[in-house]
Amino acid sequence: MREEFTREAGGRWHEGAQGEMMGMSSREWSRYMHERLQVPLEPEEISSRVAARIEERYRDQVPLLPGAVDAVRSLAARWPLGLASSANRPLIDLVLELTRMAPLFQATVSSEEVERGKPAPDVYLEAARRLGVEPRACAAVEDSTNGILAARRAGMRVVGVPRPDFPPSDEAAASASAVIASLGELEGALGALA
């Protein structure tokens, strides 16, 4: 959506832009799009318009990894769950509502609610705080380079679930406590870390 919007608005998209924005808060990526990608709108307008496009897409179909809902339901039966996301708050709430997963999370945090987005640890530290759990007692499940780095910097164990279309860097994957091929392996991987 950000690439499409950048091109339509007359900005200058480049191949590494998605990777550079991965994990940034909406404040950070909209400023990046304005300054680095030369989108000729103010960051607040960029964020608002991109979020509206994403919301429209999500209302049509939420792009979840295969097995995501089942994995979350299974984990929520064993452990308190928190969500530490780079998505805008309204999008987090929408996805949780559309997938009926909202009651499964005891805490949700958007990186726009903390000072810095991923790869800084802020969103993970806040999720642990809201759960009332020390970060070192938490395990994070991540699919991106900046997400893995953020959780590790927060002092958490990390299970990486690489997305085939945008896998984490080799360095980030090597820093994960475990790397699995699918969410079907998640409960076993987390159990081994407990």
Which of 30, 60, 90 is a domain's end point?
Answer: 60
Model pLDDT, residue 163? 85
Which stretch of DSSP H or E encloses residue 152? helix 145-153
Q: Is 90 exposed, middle or buried (0-12, 13-18, 19+ CB in 10 A)?
A: middle
pLDDT tens digits, residue range 131-149? Answer: 999 999 999 999 999 999 9
Which contacts of 42-49 are long-range, i.e. CB under 8 A and separated by 24 or more positions? 46/5, 46/9, 47/88, 49/5
CB atoms within 10 A of CB 190: 21
Verify that 73 and 55 share a domain, yes or no: no
Residue 194: pLDDT above 80?
no
pLDDT, one tens digit per residue, over 84-123 is: 999 999 999 999 999 999 999 999 999 999 999 999 999 9
Instruction: State which amino acid sits at residue 181.
Output: A
- Give the Cβ contact number of residue 114 at 10 Å: 18
pLDDT at residue number 22 = 85
Residue 7 shares a structural domain with residue 77? no
What confidence score (pLDDT) does residue 193 get? Answer: 86
* Whole-number pLDDT of residue 166: 82
On whether both 74 and 154 belong to a single domain, the answer is yes
